[in-house]
Structure 1
Amino acid sequence: MTMKDILRRISERRAQLGISENALSIKAGLSRDGIRNWRRRTERGEEAAGATITALAGVAGALGVTETWLIHGIGNSPEKTVISVAGRVGAGAHVPLYDVSEDGGLFQVAEPPQLQRMRCARPIAAVEVEGDSMMPMYQPGDILFFIRATHEGVPDEDIGRPCIVEDAEGNAWVKQVKRGDEPGLFHLISLNPTSETRHNQRIKWAARVRLALPAEMVERL
């Protein structure tokens, strides 16, 4: 084994998971700069202090791979594409989305087979449904998968569809999106008539739901 090879495998797997080096270090039980310090020392030709078998086992667990693969490059190469669940969306709960590049989200799930034909340059993300505003279409606990086509705004083709929405305050919702009464405003409509519809809202972005699965049909990692 060489530390350079181990760090390369760490970087490759991090890219699959969409998790930052700092977030991975914390998840593995290291200091925030633990893996970064290993990399810097290795680049200088020094010994990566602290890169013990126990520490590497923690990193392997956080990456969802075996210790054998991480340390020696043999065994179960991580073939599954991993999708980060960026947060929860719902009706009345004001829940902020996570920055998956920094903290990896709430948890990760394996990419469902139904989405494999939809791979593109933009990553697939997911959220967990909270509340009953979209019943009976979506149930609490369902996992909704989406692709952000734009960094800001709403693509024309997503208007009128159920979407994941981040509002101007950074809160996340699952609502049907329709144009508001003025340019730049949108109606966020609940399919459940007993739940709140939010009229003339300013939003950061919206992306239509590409796939919805009950929690028991999703492989949680």
Structure 2
Amino acid sequence: MLSEWLRQVMETSGVKQAELSRLLTVMLGRSIDRAAVNKMLKGTRAISGDELIAISTITGFDAPRERVVPIVGRVGAGAVVEATEDGNNGEQVEAPAQSVPSTVAVEVVGDSMFPAYEPGDLIFYSRHLPADEMLNRRAVVKLATGEILVKRIRPGSTAGFHNLESLNPLFSTIEDTVIEWAAPIDWSKPR
């Protein structure tokens, strides 16, 4: 968020609210009072493009660039979802703060993982792990059949097989399935 960036650059550069207000007013030729700067810091007032450039000049810190990640498809949570051919539909969404370059997002379809995830929620992940490393954890999984789901991974009846649990008690466990890959969930957010 820009408010976090503003707080960081003001602290690092030592520029105080009153000083930033005065310098912005001079640079932009319009009144930017201390209350406006305070609202910028709280995130209750947007920082315009020209204000962002001016703040960057005043503090000596580059303006942040919005980081986005691709939405690579949908994950079934009680709905059957097939993997897309290339895994990218061209849609992007703002990246979570802790994201890494390999982070991607998927959209939840269905309600088998309610209340943790609802239809339309976005789930972010950045790596694939063997299913055995994800036991008893929620994960985005790709099955050998091509389906991509969000479930809790449990041990199956024999080696190489896993059970996939839903959080919603109205949905039954998928038993003894082969998981191609499992991705730990880094972050999720409502859409």
Match of 1:154 among 131, 141, 145: 131
Q: TM-score, normalised by structure 1?
A: 0.53
Q: Which residue of 1 aligns with 2:22?
A: none
Match of 2:91 among 107, 111, 116: 107
Counting aligned pairs with the same residue, the percent is: 36
Unaligned 5+ residue runs, structure 1? 1-76, 216-221
**How has the CA–CA distance of structure 1 residues 98 and 106 changed in structure 2, closer, same or farther, with 3 Å as cutoff?**
farther
Match of 1:93 among 72, 79, 104: 79
**Amino acid across the alignment from 1:129:** V
Match of 1:137 among 110, 116, 126: 116
Deviations 1:42-66 (A, max 9, x none): xxxxxxxxxxxxxxxxxxxxxxxxx
**Amino acid across the alignment from 1:182:** T
Equivalent residues in 2 for 1:32-47, closer than 5 Å = none
Q: Which residue of 2 aligns with 1:125?
A: 104
- CA RMSD in angstroms, aligned pairs only: 2.2
Aligned-pair distance for 1:172? Answer: 0.8
Q: Note if contact 1:176-1:190 (Cα within 8 Å) is conserved in structure 2.
A: yes
Aligned-pair distance for 1:103? Answer: 6.2
**How has the CA–CA distance of structure 1 residues 182 and 103 changed in structure 2, closer, same or farther, with 3 Å as cutoff?**
closer
Unaligned 5+ residue runs, structure 2? 1-62
Equivalent residues in 2 for 1:54-65, closer than 5 Å = none
Higher helix share: 1
Aligned residues: 129
Larger Rg: 2
1: CA distance, partners of 2:150 / 2:87 = 22
Q: What secondary structure does 2:185 align onto?
A: strand
Q: Which residue of 1 aligns with 2:182?
A: 206
Q: Note if contact 2:128-2:184 (Cα within 8 Å) is conserved in structure 1.
A: no
Aligned-pair distance for 1:139? Answer: 1.0
2: CA distance, partners of 1:103 / 1:168 = 16
Aligned-pair distance for 1:155? Answer: 5.5
**How has the CA–CA distance of structure 1 residues 107 and 155 changed in structure 2, closer, same or farther, with 3 Å as cutoff?**
farther
Q: TM-score, normalised by structure 2?
A: 0.61
**Amino acid across the alignment from 1:139:** E
**How has the CA–CA distance of structure 1 residues 174 and 103 changed in structure 2, closer, same or farther, with 3 Å as cutoff?**
closer
Q: Which residue of 1 aligns with 2:17?
A: none
1: CA distance, partners of 2:131 / 2:155 = 10
Is the counterpart of residue 81 in structure 1 residue 57 in structure 2? no
